Structure 1
Amino acid sequence: MKREWIQRGAGWAAVLCVALLTGCTSYVTTQVTAFSDWSGSDATRTYAFTRTDAQKNSIEQSTYEPIVASELSAYAFRQVPQAQARYLVGLTYTVGSDLVTVPQPVYYDPWFAPGPYWRRGPWGPWGPWGPMPAGYVAQTYQVFDYTLGIRITERATGKEVYNVSARTTGDNGTLLYAMPFLARSALADFPLSNGSVRSVRLPVDKRGGPAAPAANERAVAAPPASGAAVAK
């Protein structure tokens, strides 16, 4: 289904910049929502991954679990055999696509052939007299939505103690490329308070993965829902 983005066209243009101009951004922004009833201590953070029937023999699942395990280890979680674990960690993940329409300016020259007035001449966008009035054309692009959900339950009782989801967008249809950013964003500052909604901005390292954030970077709360201007 195609979405028409009017008031947020500039924001999508920035996202699509990754696809159109390689290297124009060095950050990935993820939307995170967490529900928490966490009371565990560092000493009790033993866990094992649990799988649905569809995930039991999944190579994809086996690929994502170490990524999440690496992020859990930063918060004193230790992976152990399931019979010894206090917590069970379940994963859900999806990738979907949509078409996004972004209005882009087009400059028209009064001179139609190369010469002193063409493009960079006085009437060009960079000329000393400024550009002719711009027209706009609608450009449509395919954008992918990636999501990761992490659910932590007590093995003995089945009680849910932490449930967090992370979502981001990009131009590549493979979820694997986004998973390191989703996992790090979802577990950043663990445990979040119940009902937390925020944006996490992660820098991209030279290999294309999430780099350690600078000292002056931090996650910020998401804007109120009333501030969104999305029409479907």
Structure 2
Amino acid sequence: MKHERWTRRALMLLAALAVTLSGCTTYVTSQVTAFSAWDGGSDATRTYAFTRNPAQKQSIEQATYEQMVASGLATQAFRQVSEAQAPQAHYLVGLAYGSRMDQVTVAQPVFYNPWPGPYWGPFNPWGPWGPYAPAYVNQTYPVYTHVLSIRITDKATGKELYNVSARTSGDEPSLVRAMPYLVRSALADFPMANGSVQVVKLPLEKNGGAPNETAVPPPAAAGLAPAPAPAAPASGAAAVQ
């Protein structure tokens, strides 16, 4: 019975420690992979329209993520055209995204020593835990993986020019909360070299990365939407090749 009480207390301590550690995360880390045939172009030609598959056409979620991406593209001198002026766009931008939940099992030590007094000290022949080595209990935790892919094609030829994906994993179950960080990570070093992979670290913000959630203003009469307010600068990102 005494052993069971110690085990229960140890498990409660481990659970509390896990919650504490999860709350100490200060960065969102994403792996960014890019495939590029980007030809540069001039700022004047960086007009684009979003392209959607049938399931995305009437989706509020899709429109929300497009606003975030539009804010990020605006920092790279891209200008979004209205739907009516879509034929005049130089590029088409498509989004793909999703989430997955996995279970990770970790062996956690459970220390039990019914006679701690005589066995502690630097000359303890049994080591710091006395003659009772720690037992291990398997703990299972959920891990959520979120992915965003941004694909840019030449509208006239249909040629794919840039395809970048950002992937992040952690204890955040919400894709919409992870999306601002995915957008900023994907566009932090635009354009990346073909076949390159980077790790991007962004500071965790109390508002969940809200600076990237600026709404895109209505299209102007000329057919070009005014540039959205710039997203939070990517200078806070740490990219490691």
User: Does the 8 Å contact 2:96/2:148 carry over to 1?
Assistant: yes
- What is the CA–CA distance in structure 2 between the aligned matches of 1:213 and 1:91, rounded to whole Å? 20
- What is the CA–CA distance in structure 2 between the aligned matches of 1:182 and 1:19, rounded to whole Å? 24
Are residues 1:218 and 2:238 paired? Answer: yes
Instruction: Tell me the secondary structure at the aligned position of residue 65 of structure 1.
Output: helix
Shift of 1:107: 1.8
- What is the CA–CA distance in structure 1 between the aligned matches of 2:160 and 2:182, rounded to whole Å? 21
Gaps of 5+ in 2: 1-16, 122-126, 211-231
Deviations 1:105-155 (A, max 9, x none): 2222324xxxx96xxx958xxxxx844543322111111111111000011
User: Does the 8 Å contact 1:203/1:213 carry over to 2?
Assistant: no
Partner of 1:35: 35
Partner of 1:153: 153
- What is the CA–CA distance in structure 1 between the aligned matches of 2:97 and 2:46, rounded to whole Å? 23
More moved, 22-31 vs 153-162: 22-31
Instruction: Tell me the secondary structure at the aligned position of residue 179 of structure 2.
Output: helix
Partner of 2:183: 183
Structure 1 counterpart of 2:69, one-letter code: V
Shift of 1:22: 4.5
- What is the CA–CA distance in structure 2 between the aligned matches of 1:18 and 1:202, rounded to whole Å? 22
Structure 2 counterpart of 1:48, one-letter code: A
Superposed counterparts of 1:78-93, under 5 Å: 78-81=79-82, 82-93=86-97
- What is the CA–CA distance in structure 2 between the aligned matches of 1:18 and 1:169, rounded to whole Å? 16
User: Larger % of helix: which?
Assistant: 2
Moved over 6 A (4+): none
Partner of 2:53: 52
Are residues 1:99 and 2:103 paired? Answer: yes
Q: Please identify the structure whose Cα radius of gyration is greater.
A: 2
Superposed counterparts of 1:8-19, under 5 Å: none
Aligned length: 192
Instruction: Tell me the secondary structure at the aligned position of residue 92 of structure 2.
Output: strand
Gaps of 5+ in 1: 1-16, 124-128, 222-232
Structure 2 counterpart of 1:170, one-letter code: G
Are residues 1:207 and 2:207 paired? Answer: yes
TM-score w.r.t. the length of structure 1 is 0.74
Structure 2 counterpart of 1:106, one-letter code: V
Partner of 2:112: 108
| Structure 1 residues 71 and 169: alpha-carbon distance in aligned structure 2, compared to 1, 3 A threshold | same
User: Does the 8 Å contact 1:48/1:79 carry over to 2?
Assistant: yes
Give the alignment's Cα RMSD to 1 decimal: 2.5
| Structure 1 residues 214 and 154: alpha-carbon distance in aligned structure 2, compared to 1, 3 A threshold | closer
Partner of 2:170: 170
Shift of 1:63: 1.0
Structure 2 counterpart of 1:100, one-letter code: V
- What is the CA–CA distance in structure 2 between the aligned matches of 1:97 and 1:107, rounded to whole Å? 31
Partner of 2:76: 75
- What is the CA–CA distance in structure 1 between the aligned matches of 2:178 and 2:49, rounded to whole Å? 23
- What is the CA–CA distance in structure 2 between the aligned matches of 1:176 and 1:158, rounded to whole Å? 30
Name the % identity: 60
TM-score w.r.t. the length of structure 2 is 0.72
Shift of 1:86: 0.5
| Structure 1 residues 60 and 102: alpha-carbon distance in aligned structure 2, compared to 1, 3 A threshold | same
